[in-house]
Structure 1
Amino acid sequence: MYQNGRFVKMSGKQKYKGILYIVCSAFCFSLMNMFVRLSGDLPSVQKSFFRNLVAFFFALIMIRREAVPLRCRAGNLKYLLLRSLFGTVGILCNFYAVDHLVLADASMLNKMSPFFVVVFSIFILKERVTVPHMLFVGGAFAGSLFVIKPSFSNMDLLPSLIGLAGGLGAGAAYTFVRKLSLRGEKGPLIVCFFSAFSCLATLPFLIYGYEPMSLRQIVLLLFAGLAAAGGQFGITAAYSHAPAREISVYDYSQIMFSALLGLLVFGQVPDALSWLGYAVICTMAVLMFFYNLKREK
């Protein structure tokens, strides 16, 4: 009885740590998007390269500090590659959306990732997903249509669809983060591997289409990289401490941060349909969160 009580207590402590990490991650990613937008008209591949280059060296410092071996556990290499591939696609799509949409819209489409995590968890983690879970995912997708506003007259349709694809890529990547954590892989190594993979994958495109940058743009991209490193370590730590179904709702704090930064820095105000979409998606996230709590009890 005493052991069971202790186990429950530790489980709750881990969950609250996961919540703290995911909120800090959301703030860092909001800052990253702001710096990316401020860096101006540069190719998304170029922005992605410098963002991940900073994160790579940051991860190396953490690996050395925590004495994490620079090798993955047996059988984990394929999951690291898949996490990195989906993560790279997610970043490129997100950066494109950030450059072409209202900051809060781009962030909200990227924040479809927790719902995609639920879907990918069925196939990757073999987690059982109930009918209500799928209804919440469907409701969130319906909400995303208010943000995307699909019509041939909508000039933001393509950036919106690319932003949604970014959320899908991020959802798959975060599911593999959880998979790797369950298989004993350390967070700094996951971040380092992903950052190195992304830099190498985008390097040929960077060399071919490099755009000269001013000192201001370089500094802004360095800040974007630092913010991204903080966000990456935060999200990795969050999903290492608790399952996505328990803490993913708190990831939506990024919308609040992004809307505030968009208003203060860029003077952006989302339209009424976007706000309706935000409300629908966040409502689905909250309903899913409380449903999961009820199931556990």
Structure 2
Amino acid sequence: MVLSKKSKAIGFILLSAFGFAMMNAFVKMAGDLPFTQKSFFRNFVAMIFAAVILKKEKIGFRWEPGNFPLLLMRAMCGTVGIFCNFYAVDHLLLADANMLNKLSPFFAILFSLLFLKERATIVQYCAVLLAFGGSLLIIKPGFSADAIPAMIGLLGGVGAGAAYTAVRALSSRREKGARIVFFFSAFSTLVSLPFLLFDYHPMTWTQLACLLAAGLSATLGQFGITLAYSNAPAKEISVFDYTQILFAALLGFFLFDQMPDWMSIIGYIIICGVSVVVFFYNRTLENQEKIRDKL
């Protein structure tokens, strides 16, 4: 059985969601460290793995002609997204920070419409809105009066959405996924390095192990999201990114003994249900397109 590009994209984004959920769990286990220090290890590990893949696959480190502006946009927006997200986690309720970060698929759809001219259907827009509603039931945000950290968290969602749009554009220009990950990770590592040198906090071996594991998990998530948006537009797969909340709930239960309440369970059901409906809806659209092409 040969999977379509859309089916592959869904599989990759589910893998990415699991990787990023594991990353957040390890970051939480690492304790109270500066967000810039966490960012450095998260990106340094991903950079090493991407470099190994580029070398092993003999892809090379030279990007395709004309792709540098998009690579730079992906790296800058992704770095802003990471910094803002980690800052928000440190200064907001965790639920607030996660909710703001989960706005990235909405911005990805918006940027895809503005810059890539990729339009979504009414069903796809409604599915994303329903999934977002389900996520609100799970995280139950309670905004504080301090608006600055919340605005920074929102900026993180904007940055991530713009970064994913750049990934989509780079893939359409035949840029390799490993090279996209390497460029972004190397850029973010270099940006984080001065903060690490001037504001380094000593770590225990356990904290170091957690940050390295967070980096490995982020690598899995980064490659997954890159391959996902390389195979399908945001409007067709962004809804599946909300499964990260489901993975996070399972990890929270097994690692931190956190039990979801009834509102969270309803949110899980909504997200899973919407994901299944969107999957079959996209399959139906794909089959209809194939039939029209044959006529």
TM-score normalised per structure 1? 0.81
Matched, 1:80 2:71: yes
The code of the aligned residue for 2:194 comes to P
Cα offset for 1:166?
2.3
Aligned runs of 1:12-51 on 2, under 5 Å?
Answer: 12-51=3-42
Q: Distance in 1 between matches of 2:89 and 2:28?
A: 6
CA contact (8 A) 1:25 1:234 kept: yes
Is 2:120–2:235's contact at 8 Å kept on the other side of the alignment? Answer: no
Where 1:192 maps in the other structure, the secondary structure is helix
**C-alpha distance in 2 between matches for 1:109 and 1:282:** 20
Q: Tell whether the 8 Å contact from 2:19 to 2:221 is kept in structure 1 after alignment.
A: yes
Choose from 61, 65, 83 the match for 2:56. 65
Out of 145, 148, 155, which is 2:141 matched to?
148
Question: In 2 relative to 1, CA 88–225 (structure 1 residues): closer, same or farther, beyond 3 Å?
Answer: same
Distance, in Å, in 2 between the alignment partners of 1:286 and 1:115 is 19
Give the AA of the match of 1:175: T
The one-character-per-residue Cα deviations of 1:165-213 (angstroms, maximum 9, x if unpaired) are 3222211111111110000100110000000100111222222211111
User: Is 1:254 aligned with 2:254?
Assistant: no
Deviations 1:52-105 (A, max 9, x none): 011100000110111112111111101001101111111122223444566666
Structure 1 range deviating more: 174-183 or 275-284: 275-284
Question: Structure 1 residues 158 and 149, CA, compared in 2 at 3 Å: closer, same or farther?
Answer: farther
Q: Is the 8 A contact 1:104 1:255 kept in 2?
A: no
- Aligned residue pairs total 285
Q: Distance in 2 between matches of 1:125 and 1:170?
A: 16
Contact 1:245/1:289 (CA < 8 Å) preserved in 2? no
Q: Which residue of 1 aligns with 2:209?
A: 219
Q: How many Å separate the matches in 2 of 1:27 and 1:184? A: 26
Q: Which residue of 2 aligns with 1:236?
A: 226
Structure 2 Cα separation of the partners of residues 228 and 66 of structure 1: 21
The alignment yields a C-alpha RMSD, in angstroms, of: 3.2
In structure 2, the residue corresponding to 1:148 is in which secondary structure?
coil
Task: Please give the TM-score of this superposition, normalised by the length of structure 2.
Answer: 0.82
Mapping of residues 247-286 of structure 1, within 5 Å = 247-268=237-258
Partner of 2:185: 195
- Matched to 2:48, the amino acid is F
Between the aligned partners of 1:140 and 1:181, the Cα distance in structure 2 is: 26
- 1:123 aligns to 2:114 (yes or no): yes
Choose the corresponding residue for 1:169, options 159, 164, 168: 159
Mean Cα deviation higher: 273-282 or 46-55:
273-282
Equivalent of 2:199 in 194, 197, 209: 209
Percent sequence identity is 55
Deviation of residue 239 (structure 1)?
A: 1.4
Long gaps (5+) in structure 1: 1-8
- Given that 2:99 and 2:136 are in contact with CA atoms closer than 8 Å, whether structure 1 keeps it comes out as no
Partners of 1:249 and 1:286 within 8 A in 2 = no
